[in-house]
């Protein structure tokens, strides 16, 4: 497993420290580094990465607003000299929060978290070419198979997720970002901080909302342009 990493930090020394640490770890590849979040955002329009090591205090676009601007964020490790942003970033589903100066043993704990999360995501996604499916853990012992073509919506419930399908609803312990990243981006789209929906299950679009199975779901302000463009591109 080759893990692609992006580093965004306005301090050259901080970038150097993380690069030196990653150079000592097998299977972790640094695809690019940026000293501002705007360049990082532009890079991600055409490139995919598995992990972002992200500073918070940066000019023009800070780390928190950078995370909020991502439709389907990869795993994010915050690297900051301040602990005051920890709660807010965890609410944005960051995987870990490292306080500078970062010691290597603490950095390795983040690497272990990354490996575990990526391995778990890989195990969940299975299926056939004709009809792909995923397995979700619906209780401590039971794994439930769900065909992707039956999924209607996924709704964030803080540390849990409600998945609505044609055959029923299921509550799992997951974040919306992690679950959305498992799904094909040409078939599913995040329309709000709290919702991801199946594009082909959208029955109507009206104003800033979509209708699925008789229920309306509001499109978040930061998602509306991309959502409408993607829906229109799939129409005739």
Distance CA 92, CA 77 (A): 11
Query: Could you tell me the pTM of the whole model?
Result: 0.59
* Residuewise pLDDT in 10s, the chain (236 residues): 689 999 999 999 999 999 999 999 999 999 999 999 999 999 998 888 999 999 999 989 999 999 988 877 889 999 999 888 888 887 788 889 999 999 999 999 999 999 888 876 665 555 555 678 888 887 777 888 889 999 999 999 877 899 999 988 999 888 888 888 888 888 899 999 899 999 999 999 888 999 999 999 999 988 888 888 887 766 55
Rounded alpha-carbon distances, angstroms, from residue 36 to 4, 31, 41, 86, 213? 19, 15, 9, 20, 42
The closest alpha carbon to 151, from 184, 126, 194, belongs to: 184
pLDDT of residue 223: 86
Domains of the chain: 3-123 (3.40.50.2300), 128-233 (2.40.50.1020)
pLDDT of residue 68: 87
**How many CB atoms lie under 10 A from the CB of residue 214?**
6
Cα-based torsion angle of the residue sequence 57, 59, 61, 67 in order, rounded to the nearest 10 degrees: -20
Distance CA 65, CA 69 (A): 6
């Amino acid at each position: 497993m080759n893990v692609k990493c992006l580093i965004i930090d306005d301090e050259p020394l901080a970038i150097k420290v993380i690069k030196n640490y990653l150079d000592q770890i097998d299977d972790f590849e640094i695809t690019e580094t940026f000293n501002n979040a705007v360049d990082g955002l532009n890079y991600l329009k055409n490139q995919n990465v598995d992990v972002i090591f992200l500073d918070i205090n940066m000019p023009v676009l800070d780390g928190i607003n950078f995370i909020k601007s991502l439709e389907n964020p990869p795993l994010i490790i915050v690297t900051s000299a301040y602990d005051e942003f920890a709660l807010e970033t965890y609410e944005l589903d960051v995987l870990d929060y490292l306080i500078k100066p970062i010691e290597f043993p603490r950095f390795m704990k983040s690497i272990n978290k990354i490996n575990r999360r990526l391995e778990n995501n890989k195990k969940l996604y299975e299926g056939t070419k004709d009809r792909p499916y995923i397995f979700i853990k619906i209780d401590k012992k039971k794994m439930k198979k769900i065909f992707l073509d039956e999924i209607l919506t996924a709704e964030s419930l803080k540390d849990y997720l409600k998945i609505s399908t044609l055959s029923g609803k299921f509550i799992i312990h997951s974040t919306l970002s992690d679950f959305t990243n498992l799904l094909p981006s040409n078939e599913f789209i995040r329309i709000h901080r709290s919702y991801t929906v199946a594009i082909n299950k959208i029955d109507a679009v009206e104003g800033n909302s979509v209708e699925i199975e008789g229920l309306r779901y509001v499109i978040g302000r930061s998602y509306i342009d991309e959502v409408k463009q993607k829906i229109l591109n799939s129409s005739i």
